[in-house]
Amino acid sequence: MKLPKYQLSSSDKLLTFEFISEGNKGMIHKIVKYQATHYKNIYNLAFGDKDYSTGDIDDTSISNNGDSEKVLATVGSTLYAFTDKYPDFWIYATGSTVARTRLYRMGITKFYSEIAIDFEILGERNDDWEPFQKNSSYGGFLIKRKKN
Partner 1 sequence: MKIINELKKRNIPIVKIDKSLNKYDDIIIFPEKLDKANKKLTKSGLPKQWNK
Q: Are 90 and 142 in contact (CB under 8 A)?
A: yes
Looking at beta carbons only, is 8 or 103 nearer to partner 1?
A: 8
104: contact with partner 1 by CB under 8 A: no
CA distance linking residue 41 with residue 86, whole number of Å = 9
**Burial environment of residue 24 by CB neighbours within 10 A (0 to 12, 13 to 18, 19 or more):** exposed
Going by C-beta distance under 8 Å and a sequence separation of 6 or more, which residues neighbour residue 76? 1, 107, 111, 115
Contact, 76 vs 91, CB < 8 A?
A: no
Query: Residues in contact with partner 1, total (CB under 8 A)?
Result: 45
Please pick, from the candidates 68, 69, 111, 139, the single residue that binds partner 1 as defined by CB under 8 A.
139
Q: Applying CB under 8 A, does 147 fall inside the site for partner 1?
A: no
Which of the stretches 22-30, 32-40, 62-70, 102-110 binds partner 1 when contact is defined by CB under 8 A?
A: 32-40
Among the residue ranges 14-22, 62-70, 104-112, the one whose residues contact partner 1 (CB under 8 A):
14-22
Q: What is the sign, positive or negative, of the torsion defined by CA atoms of 69, 75, 113, 99?
A: negative
In the complex, minimum distance from the CB of residue 54 to partner 1, in angstroms, rounded to a whole number: 13
Distance of CA 17 to the CA centre of its chain: 11
Q: Which of 20, 81, 103, 116 binds partner 1 (CB under 8 A)?
A: 81
> Which residues contact partner 1 (rule: CB under 8 A)?
1, 5, 7-18, 31, 33, 35, 37-39, 42, 44, 46-48, 57, 59, 77-78, 80-81, 84, 92, 94, 96, 118, 122, 124, 127-129, 131, 139-140, 142
